[in-house]
Every structure is written in C-alpha cells, then in structure tokens.
Amino acid sequence: MMDSEAAGPRDSDGAMRIGFALLPKKVSRYLTPAIQAAALAEGIELYLIDISKPLSEQGPFNAIIHKLRPNRAWECDLQEYSKLHPDVRVIDRVDGIATLRNRITMLSVLRASDIVLMDPLSSSTVFRVKAPPQVVIPEDMPADEAEQLMLESGMRPPLIVKPVWTDGREGSHGLAVVHDMVSLSNLLKGSVLSSVKPPAVIQEFVEHGGVLFKVYVVGNHTAVSKRPSLGDNYLGNGSGEERTGIMQLPRISCKSVSTGLSAQGDSPSGTPTSVRPSSDASLSDMGMATPSPQNQVVELPPEWFTHQLANELRKRLNMHLFNFDLLRVDAGAEDGVTGESLYFVIDINYFPGVDKIPHFEEKFVQFLQAACKSSVST
C-alpha cells in the first residue's frame, strides 16, 4: 500500500489518476476495459487526455504518459504543466523522445561509449554492445560530396539505407538494401524510384545469422522477442554471387519467432515464458531469413544480459518506455583477441507495441503503480 505522501493527488473516489495522450490506434490498445479494470483494482484511474484542451483544465494527475506525432502546441502545454506541477511524472521526456525520432541522434548514447557487461556468475563471459558505424546524408548534400563521405567511411556493400526520421511520417519505416556503389550513387541522386531518400543514414550490413532480437522495456520489466531479419543468403554473403542494384523492403522484423519475459528477480533460469511460432509465408520474398533449422535453434541472449543492457540504456536515455533492436554478430566474427561476444543496437523506438508481450496487463499496471510513486521531469 502506498503512503499518501508518495501517492500524490487523488480524485474524489480516492483513486490516483494517470493521464494518457495517445495516437488513436494506441487508445484502443492501451486503454482497454481489461487494463482499466486491472488499474482501477489497484487504485489507479486511467484518463484519456484531450490535447485540444489545456492540461490545467483536465488535472490533477499523478503521471502523464504520451505518444503522439510531433506537436509543438502539445509539447509546450506539457512542459508548462510540468513546471507548475513538478511532482507529476511525465513518461517520457519531450527532448528524449525527440532524440529517438531522429536516427542521427538515436544511438548517440552508444556512440559516446560502448556498453560492456560481465556475467555476474563468470568473469570470463563478457558482452560488448556497440552502435553500428553509419554515414549521415543530409537532404541537400550534393551527390559527389555524399560519394566522398562514403569513400572516407570505408564501408562496403551490402549497405542498409534508412530514413533519418522515425516519427511516423510517410516513408519513415522504409528500408533499402544497396548491393553496389553505383546503385547507391543513383539513389542519392534521386535517379531511381525509392521511398528511401536523403536525408538518410547508411549502415554497413552486419552478418548476424538472419535473426534479430527485439527487446521491450517497460520500466524495470523487459521482454525479448526473436524475429526473422535480413538473411545472409538473400544478401549474397558467402554465396559467390555478386549482387547488384537496390532492393526496397517494407518494415522487417515484423513476425515473431519466440518471446521471453523477465523482470528483476523473475524467471532466474532465463527460460522464455511464452513462445509464439512465426509463419514462414513470404518471409524470403520480403528479404528475410526464413526460420530454417539453423535459425530455429538460435537461442535468446542470456536473461541477465538483456536485463542489464535494458537497465543501462534506460539510465543513459533517462527514459522508461521503449524498445531496441539487437543483433548478435556471427560467432566467427567475435573479437578474437578479447573473446568478447559482440552485439549491435541498430534502432531504439519510443513507446512501441508493448501490448504484444506476455502478461502485458499485469506488467503494465505494475509500471503504472511505479509511475505514481515517483516523479521525473520532462
């Protein structure tokens, strides 16, 4: 039971109030009758904020959770409300969300320094987590300057080209795989039809066995999903086949292979608490690796590792509701000098579809309870 000082303001029924400012598609997923009933059973009222009205007319709140398109009027109102009510927890900070909406800044917390984690039970087991090298191509950069940047970077095809913005605008989820430098030059010049165009970031493909790990962070809780990703065979690596041209792909890693849920102290064995098979249909057509026998036996990263990594990113970002895409470099490409296992975080997204994780309602209500107990500024 929370003490009155920690709980903050309550409405006439004695319930704490959490305001939600959400995109319409998220309202139907996060303010369901089941979640509202579970929250109310814990003394928490969930309130849908009308962003056309000032927050000062809709409070009081113990916490505010928001996920909207960029909206300067809303952000100003939220920040002004926070100044007047500093004890109201805002999830998450406006400037933090802006950092994750831009792939130029998204991985800055990893570019400043790698994350190195050691197995608490074995000092010889070390995991290093990095951001992939990338080149930023501004919208108005001449093609010859862009080509010079690529030359200086030393990156070689296949290359992954992504839009800079991840804020939901048209094309923000696009992805292009470029197999040769001539095709990259044509893309940057706009001489080929592509939904991915400058401003863009370019990353070198990292061999990772065609499996991506998507790690969801809901406060102190983490969930890990194993998804199909770009397959080495599709990219021509090791096949002896020299591929050329540009392949445009829809959003990948959209089909789950398996999911594990953990929290501090939960499931110490690291055994996934839920498994969701993936459909093989059309994965190869989308440029993904199908769940071949080799991919099916790919294990989730150790639970201690994903949980510690999530906590470290949470601290560095000062954010509480996000997910990140994690690649494990093929075993043959590990650091042969130190013996470290090498991982790359390639994307971080604010307030993703965490309702897909096992036991979501229970974990989300626990998260809301924690939000009411403490305060954080925007």
Q: Which two tokens stand for residue 225?
A: 């999903």
Residue 173 is assigned to a ligand binding site = yes
Residue 93 is assigned to a ligand binding site = no
Residue 342 is assigned to a ligand binding site = no
Lookup result for tokens 């970031």: 201
Residue 209 is assigned to a ligand binding site = yes
Burial profile 73-93: b = 16 or more Cβ within 10 angstroms, e = fewer: ebbebbeebbeebeebbbbbb
d(CA 133, CA 294): 28
Residue 240 is assigned to a ligand binding site = no
Residue 208 is assigned to a ligand binding site = yes
Residue 356 is assigned to a ligand binding site = no
* Residue 121 φ/ψ region, left for φ over 0, alpha for ψ in the -120 to 50 degree band, beta for the rest: alpha
Residue 206 is assigned to a ligand binding site = yes
Q: What is the 3-state secondary structure (H, E, C) of 179-241?
A: CCHHHHHHHHHCCCCCCCCCCEEEEECCCCCCEEEEEEEECCEEEEEEEECECHHHHCCCCCC
Residue 26 is assigned to a ligand binding site = yes
Residue 211 is assigned to a ligand binding site = yes
Bridge partner residues of 118 (DSSP): 126
Residue 276 is assigned to a ligand binding site = no
Residue 210 is assigned to a ligand binding site = yes
Residue 373 is assigned to a ligand binding site = no
Maximum distance among all alpha carbons in the chain? Answer: 71
Annotated binding-site residue numbers for ATP? 103, 162, 203-214, 229
Binding residue numbers: 26, 67, 103, 162, 173, 203-214, 229
Q: Which residues are annotated as a binding site for 1D-myo-inositol 1,3,4-trisphosphate?
A: 26, 67, 173, 214
